[in-house]
Amino acid sequence: MTEVSLRPWSESDLDLLRRANAPELMEHLGGPETDTQVLARHEKYLRGWRDGSSHMYAIVTPDHPAGVGTIGFWARTDDGRVLFEVGWTVLAAFQGRGFARAALGLLLDEARTVDPSRPIAAYPRVGNAASNALCRGAGFVLEGVEEFEFPKGTRLPSNVWVLPAPGPGTA
């Protein structure tokens, strides 16, 4: 088993966010952000913890306490359905080692402690094979394809993966 933990986002994680802004990691998200955009995203992640709007984490391992990636969840309403959206990035040097799978498992547990009644959704681009495989492996159900605008001005098809909330007596 891959030894991974989640550390709540902190001021010290700006460098991790900058390393995650690499072209090969931002390919499915419209390309790398400017440093001003990265700084704004960092502040948004910090603010999310202060106001409860999101829960972003650094994915850490004993050998890499500065982080091997990022993962988090936030509230979203999709066609009237209140859910949590999840998203993640694992740095290129650490991909293929099971870090994303382990981190997603921990994150799903965290989201369920916040609100066990909410479905959890992920919206990877159709062409993002690794993220789509991660959703499938974690038990998400593919509900279809929708075109999302992200970043502003970029509309691309994304898969809609949903992990239903556990039913009564199944938590």
Q: What is the pLDDT of residues 83-107, one digit of tens each?
A: 999 999 999 899 999 999 999 999 9
Asked whether residue 169 carries a pLDDT value surpassing 60, the answer given is no
Range with lowest mean pLDDT among 19-33, 109-123, 155-169: 19-33
Which residues fall within 8 angstroms of residue 28, CB to CB, at 6 or more apart?
Answer: 124, 125, 127, 128, 131
pLDDT for 1: 52
How far is 79 from 71, CA to CA, in rounded Å? 24
pLDDT for 156: 82
Q: What is the mean pLDDT of the chain?
A: 89
Confidence of residue 38 (pLDDT cuts 50, 70, 90): confident
